[in-house]
Structure 1
Amino acid sequence: MAQYAYDETGAVFNYFLLTLLAFVLLPSTYSWAFGGRKAATKDVCRCDLCAKKRRRIAAMKKREQPILSTKFILLSFGWMLFAFVAYKAATTAVDEQATLWNPYRILGLEDNASLEAINKARKALILKWHPDKARDEAAKILATETTVEIYKAVKALTDEESKRNWDEWGHPDGKQSFQLGLALPGWLVREGNSYKVLFVYTAMFMILLPALVARWWSKAKKLNKDKIMNPTMAKFYRELNANLTVKPLMELICKADEFYTTITLDKADSAAQDKLVEQVIVTMERTTASRWTKKSTPKDAQTAMQQKVYLLLVSHLLRITPKSPKLAEEQRIVAETCATLVGGLLQIAISRQWLSTALTVVDLGQMITQALYPHQSPLLQLPNVKLEDIRHFKHKKHQVTTIRDLIDLDEKEQDAILSKFLDKEQKDLALHVAHQYPLLRITKAKFKMLGEDAIIPNAIVTLIIKLELGTKSEMEIDKKNGTSINANADDEDDEEPKNNWWDTTKEAVPLAHSPYFPAEKTPVWWVYFGDISQNRLITVAKVNDLVTEKTVRLQFQAPPRPGQWEFQVLVKSDAHLACDALASLKLTVSPPEAAPLQEEDDDISDPEEDTIAGQMNAMRKPGGAPGPAAGKRGAAESNSDSEDENDHAGRSGGVNGVDNYEDSDSSDEDE
């Protein structure tokens, strides 16, 4: 029978506690010390708005994360506990005598010592530990116990049977019961402490742990993975359609339930809100073709909330900061929340394969990030450039409508335009931000089918796209060639290098220049593959780590008929306006006969003829006649094919989105 030996001294249990604490404390401390810090951006904008934004964000983080936070207190307590356990482990010796009895060690001899050495050691130890030499009762008891151990050890090594048992089983009495050591302190299993241990276990696993799980679940069940409330997503799903433009999308996004917990309706804010409405009306009449049409006195609280959120969103897009501190803070909350809700709208548009709606949603995200009202000039992304300055960019020789057009000009032409309304310092700052503007290029777009040279109908196709942030000289070459796609690109570029977590040389993604957006913004690129003429989105990819170049792979199902099919690849940023990239691609689908037939393996024996597999094999052979079972199978296959065709006609998407190409006019099959 097995016996269990516990760690009476607690030495081994201390090492177990140290390991457990280290696993928790080391990553938690690293996360607390360095987790919130991002790599410094190389080119930090020096404009007043960006400097003010950085100071505000730093102050907000300092308020949200004080030095004496709950996490800091827990980490401090954890490290104090770690130091205490380390001290106990260093000062507590392991009691090897209690776990391993060794007669040679008792006599102070090496293993396999001679009989002469054993007798000599016995005489010396008996003389030393004789009970008559003890001065007090305690010393006499110790001497008696030691003398007993000495005689026991001598007998184990001199008695023939005991010596044989020791050599064979490691014990003078022969084979012993199996003993298992547990790294648990002895006090943990003592009978007197059983109720205390049971109370601790009950409190941890039956009260604390269920309470934490219930608290987590009460929050998680209300939100999806993108931190958007489920009622909001349901509302978006019902009201989003394929024909919504930017302004209806703005009204839809203001109906989100998130605002009911962050924005308040207070009568004391009515005066400040009315002044903001007046500012919005004047600014819209001066800078846009739109007009403010919302009523000043909503009928119900729900409409009032939606109208207030819409007012704050429009004022943000018009770059109007409310004079009321409360409204200014709520405006920042609305801007950040709307940027998050754009992701929910985009999910629904992608799931329904609406290409134009998905593009419009990303456009709305760009406007929120850059604080630009619909149809305003992308040149307003530059610092110190105002709406009345846009007229200076229009010239008979050059029509500059985007930042990319400005970068294409030489230095003299740039200086001639900007010097009309900016001083030297402002002009240098505007050009500094302009040269940070991403010049996106699609340098590779290739269709590929795994293991095959030809693409056949309904096959799974991989579209390999390579994105690069180019330079001015590369953009000039692309303009001369009419495209940035390199048709002679090698397949060696198809493999994307792996990014290991321990690799510290990876360059951080620079932040977008967004002085009016209340939070730091890292650009995200959306790669769409679809058919613009039919407003069909086939598949999409999200790229959030584009620094210099990135290879993206998109999988989709090939069209059901042979011929040439024309598609488009569109790449859009959610943080910058007018830096999109578009490429038209032609997919050649070959007849099914173009794919080589797979050879059968002759090493595999044929199945028995009386089985279904045997009858199926007989049907494949030339002249093979189907039996009764094969006939039933053929009928079943016919019904299955019919059902598949009906299902195919009714579905709007196959692998990664689309397999319904019946309405496309770009196929050459009819020819």
Structure 2
Amino acid sequence: YKALTDEDVRRNFIEYGNPDGKQSTSFGIALPQFLITEGNGKYILLVYGALLGILLPYFVGSWWYGSQKVTREKILVSSAGNMFKEFSERIDDHGVVNLLSSGTEFEALLHGHKADAGTGQLEKRLLQEARVLTEKDRRFLQDMDDTVRRKTLALLWAYLARVELDDQTLNDEKYQLAPTALTLNEAFVSVCLAYGFTNPVLASYRTSQNLIQAVAPESPPLLQLPHFNEKVVKALEDQLDQRSHLTIQSFMNFPDARRRELATSAGLSNSQLDTAISVASQLPRLVIERTFFKVTGEKHIIPNSLVQFVVKARFIPPGTRNIPDVHPSDLEDIDPDETDTKANSRPDPAEQKQHQPPLAHAPHFSRDHSPRWHLFLADARQGKVAVPPFTFTTFDKPILDESGKPTFNVQTLKMQFQAPPQPAHYKFQMHLACDSYIGFDDKRDVILSVEDPSSIEEAEWEDEDISEPEEDSIAGQMATLRGGATKKATSPKIKQANDDSDEESGTDEEEETESETDTDTDTDEE
């Protein structure tokens, strides 16, 4: 009743939800009994002092100094320093393997008695069986004084040459070193890019393939297939009188009868060959269909513009017979309409859902690894990297269908960079390298045409200067239906009158011209 009749009570109820007005509020904290018990205060202060004064600085310092020991590529700073010291612009695949043994990370794996245990037996077996070692590699190994690095290098070559060791401990260490070597090799790419030379970058990418597949540098790519060893591959290549090693795709392109005949003569059974063919027909080989340069929303590429290098490619496993044709629209990269605000505001569907390729077939590598593709542009004349690599781990369209068969979808790979400052035709060499499989790399020449903005404006002005059709002509009527501009037709009588007036005024114009000429002449004489 008072809330309806008394103004003060009514106002309190509206403002505070209570007819008596604002009420005081208190909050309490529940603490354990031993914290508030008299006499425990000094012990609590002692505990807080230990936490804040000793443990907290210890953990912060450990984190800080630990982060200072590791680079952005997750390797030790000392390992990166060793790589910079041993870098050479002429380094090859063998040199990269020797360089990787300088990593400080191997000291943690081969510490204590493991540093030199079994090294003599390992080197003896390696030098006897590993034909992949060059004379330079043998001297480099035998002249090394660091025991840890010497054993590391011997284990790496034993892993790449697939040398089976009698000591099981050495065999286990051989497989344990490969993932660490791969991490160091990925960091070595950054070292190569700092110098900008093309050959070291390519050598590092090939070393990544060798480490994942456990295949020595310059060895046959067929060693990636199961049951294919050095003896089988040599017998197979001798039948074909091959000067260079036979690739997986070349072997799979043979007719089935011819392929089976070669494999059987080399010492493989039908079941072993079927297993190898099954693996080869599932390898993700990326085949380029088209490459081009473009600027989003523009028809021409001008100096200093933001250029996109677009690669259209498909995953076609080796030996695939019935390959569907590519639709021409799939090879285009159409820009969104600038007037469509909804299309520009919502995210690109290709960026929303990406599709990852299957894990790499690497039975000798002791980690699961997802394949990566590196795309970059190089200047072949100078031997330098022009545009740093872009790495692709996922793709915009499904690679396999639900049954595990290839979809042959056209994938789009893009790399963005700034155009050169001068108009010209720039010739680059495109490199597409897979880090997981040997023999699937691609290299081709591409040309970037940078045009002069002034010449583009003149060409556009000439196009716009084309006269509009008259409205009484067929072209004019078509333009009117389309909503285009036209000009009114000129009447014959008016045209004739204009011609007569032009004839009459011709004499006057000539007189004016003569007087102007005289004036100019007089001015010159004066």
AA in 1 matched with 2:88: N
The counterpart of 1:414, out of the listed 259, 264, 268, is: 259
AA in 2 matched with 1:314: W
C-alpha contact 1:573 1:579 (8 A) present in aligned 2: yes
Cα–Cα, structure 1 residues 197 and 427, in superposed 2: closer, same or farther, change >3 Å? same
Note the C-alpha offset of 1:214: 3.1
CA deviation string 1:614-658 (max 9, x = no partner): xxxxxxxxxxxxxxxxxxxxxxxxxxxxxxxxxxxxxxxxxxxxx
Note the C-alpha offset of 1:404: 0.8
AA in 1 matched with 2:372: V
C-alpha contact 1:294 1:307 (8 A) present in aligned 2: no
C-alpha contact 1:236 1:252 (8 A) present in aligned 2: yes
Residue in structure 1 matched with residue 22 of structure 2 by the alignment: 176
Residue in structure 2 matched with residue 322 of structure 1 by the alignment: 165
CA deviation string 1:562-611 (max 9, x = no partner): 232211221111111001122321111111314559xxxxxxxxxxxxxx
C-alpha contact 2:156 2:177 (8 A) present in aligned 1: yes
Q: Give the Cα–Cα distance (whole angstroms) in 2 for the partners of residues 485 and 587 of structure 1.
A: 25
C-alpha contact 2:312 2:331 (8 A) present in aligned 1: no
Residues 184-203 of structure 1 correspond to what in structure 2 (within 5 A)?
Answer: 185=29, 187=31, 192=36
Residue in structure 2 matched with residue 447 of structure 1 by the alignment: 293
Note the C-alpha offset of 1:508: 4.7
Residue in structure 1 matched with residue 153 of structure 2 by the alignment: 310
Residue in structure 2 matched with residue 490 of structure 1 by the alignment: 332
C-alpha contact 2:419 2:450 (8 A) present in aligned 1: yes
C-alpha contact 1:403 1:437 (8 A) present in aligned 2: no
Pairing 1:218–2:65 present: yes
Q: Give the Cα–Cα distance (whole angstroms) in 2 for the partners of residues 514 and 589 of structure 1.
A: 43
C-alpha contact 2:89 2:200 (8 A) present in aligned 1: yes
Give RMSD over aligned pairs. Answer: 3.9
Residues 329-344 of structure 1 correspond to what in structure 2 (within 5 A)?
Answer: 329-344=172-187
User: TM-score, normalising length from structure 2?
Assistant: 0.70
Note the C-alpha offset of 1:292: 5.7
SS at match of 1:214: helix
Residues 56-75 of structure 1 correspond to what in structure 2 (within 5 A)?
Answer: none
Note the C-alpha offset of 1:493: 8.9
SS at match of 2:381: helix
C-alpha contact 2:249 2:319 (8 A) present in aligned 1: no
Note the C-alpha offset of 1:431: 0.7
Note the C-alpha offset of 1:322: 2.6
C-alpha contact 2:357 2:370 (8 A) present in aligned 1: yes
CA deviation string 1:293-351 (max 9, x = no partner): 34887685xx2222211111111111013322332232223222111100111011123
Residues 503-522 of structure 1 correspond to what in structure 2 (within 5 A)?
Answer: 508-522=356-370
The counterpart of 1:392, out of the listed 236, 250, 263, is: 236
Residues 4-23 of structure 1 correspond to what in structure 2 (within 5 A)?
Answer: none
AA in 1 matched with 2:207: L
Q: Give the Cα–Cα distance (whole angstroms) in 2 for the partners of residues 345 and 268 of structure 1.
A: 24
Q: Give the Cα–Cα distance (whole angstroms) in 1 for the partners of residues 366 and 205 of structure 2.
A: 18
Cα–Cα, structure 1 residues 488 and 202, in superposed 2: closer, same or farther, change >3 Å? same
Q: Give the Cα–Cα distance (whole angstroms) in 1 for the partners of residues 105 and 55 of structure 2.
A: 30
Cα–Cα, structure 1 residues 186 and 316, in superposed 2: closer, same or farther, change >3 Å? closer
The counterpart of 2:284, out of the listed 434, 438, 441, is: 438
What percent identity do the matched residue pairs reach? 23
Cα–Cα, structure 1 residues 488 and 568, in superposed 2: closer, same or farther, change >3 Å? farther
Residues 94-109 of structure 1 correspond to what in structure 2 (within 5 A)?
Answer: none
Residue in structure 2 matched with residue 559 of structure 1 by the alignment: 420
Pairing 1:375–2:221 present: no
Note the C-alpha offset of 1:380: 1.1
Note the C-alpha offset of 1:518: 2.2
Residue in structure 2 matched with residue 587 of structure 1 by the alignment: 448
AA in 2 matched with 1:490: E
Residue in structure 2 matched with residue 423 of structure 1 by the alignment: 269
SS at match of 1:577: coil
Q: Give the Cα–Cα distance (whole angstroms) in 2 for the partners of residues 512 and 362 of structure 1.
A: 15
AA in 2 matched with 1:383: P
Cα–Cα, structure 1 residues 550 and 352, in superposed 2: closer, same or farther, change >3 Å? farther
Residue in structure 2 matched with residue 250 of structure 1 by the alignment: 97
AA in 1 matched with 2:298: E
Residue in structure 1 matched with residue 439 of structure 2 by the alignment: 578
CA deviation string 1:484-532 (max 9, x = no partner): 99798222499963455xx7xx655312122222222221111121222
SS at match of 1:227: coil
CA deviation string 1:263-299 (max 9, x = no partner): 13649955x32222222112234x6665763488768
Pairing 1:283–2:129 present: yes
Residue in structure 2 matched with residue 523 of structure 1 by the alignment: 371
C-alpha contact 2:296 2:335 (8 A) present in aligned 1: no
Residue in structure 1 matched with residue 109 of structure 2 by the alignment: 262
Structure 2 portions without partners, runs of 5+: 337-346, 400-409, 459-526
Pairing 1:402–2:241 present: no
C-alpha contact 1:224 1:230 (8 A) present in aligned 2: yes
Cα–Cα, structure 1 residues 198 and 185, in superposed 2: closer, same or farther, change >3 Å? farther
C-alpha contact 1:393 1:417 (8 A) present in aligned 2: no
Note the C-alpha offset of 1:407: 1.8
401-410 or 514-523, larger mean C-alpha shift? 514-523
Note the C-alpha offset of 1:455: 1.3
Residue in structure 2 matched with residue 457 of structure 1 by the alignment: 303
SS at match of 2:292: strand
C-alpha contact 1:441 1:468 (8 A) present in aligned 2: yes
Residue in structure 1 matched with residue 507 of structure 2 by the alignment: none
Note the C-alpha offset of 1:250: 1.9
SS at match of 1:534: coil
The counterpart of 2:390, out of the listed 533, 536, 541, is: 541
Residue in structure 1 matched with residue 429 of structure 2 by the alignment: 568
Q: Give the Cα–Cα distance (whole angstroms) in 2 for the partners of residues 312 and 217 of structure 1.
A: 34
What count of residue pairs does the alignment treat as equivalent?
Answer: 429
Residue in structure 2 matched with residue 468 of structure 1 by the alignment: 314
Q: Give the Cα–Cα distance (whole angstroms) in 2 for the partners of residues 262 and 585 of structure 1.
A: 45
Cα–Cα, structure 1 residues 426 and 299, in superposed 2: closer, same or farther, change >3 Å? closer
Q: Give the Cα–Cα distance (whole angstroms) in 1 for the partners of residues 173 and 301 of structure 2.
A: 54
AA in 1 matched with 2:301: I
User: TM-score, normalising length from structure 1?
Assistant: 0.56
Residue in structure 2 matched with residue 623 of structure 1 by the alignment: none
Cα–Cα, structure 1 residues 577 and 297, in superposed 2: closer, same or farther, change >3 Å? closer
Note the C-alpha offset of 1:397: 9.6
AA in 2 matched with 1:239: E
AA in 2 matched with 1:542: T
Q: Give the Cα–Cα distance (whole angstroms) in 2 for the partners of residues 567 and 397 of structure 1.
A: 35
Q: Give the Cα–Cα distance (whole angstroms) in 2 for the partners of residues 168 and 585 of structure 1.
A: 77
CA deviation string 1:521-557 (max 9, x = no partner): 2211111212223212122101122562643322223
158-167 or 413-422, larger mean C-alpha shift? 158-167
C-alpha contact 2:281 2:320 (8 A) present in aligned 1: no
Note the C-alpha offset of 1:447: 0.9
C-alpha contact 2:280 2:318 (8 A) present in aligned 1: no
AA in 2 matched with 1:449: V
Structure 1 portions without partners, runs of 5+: 1-114, 116-155, 598-671
AA in 2 matched with 1:561: Q
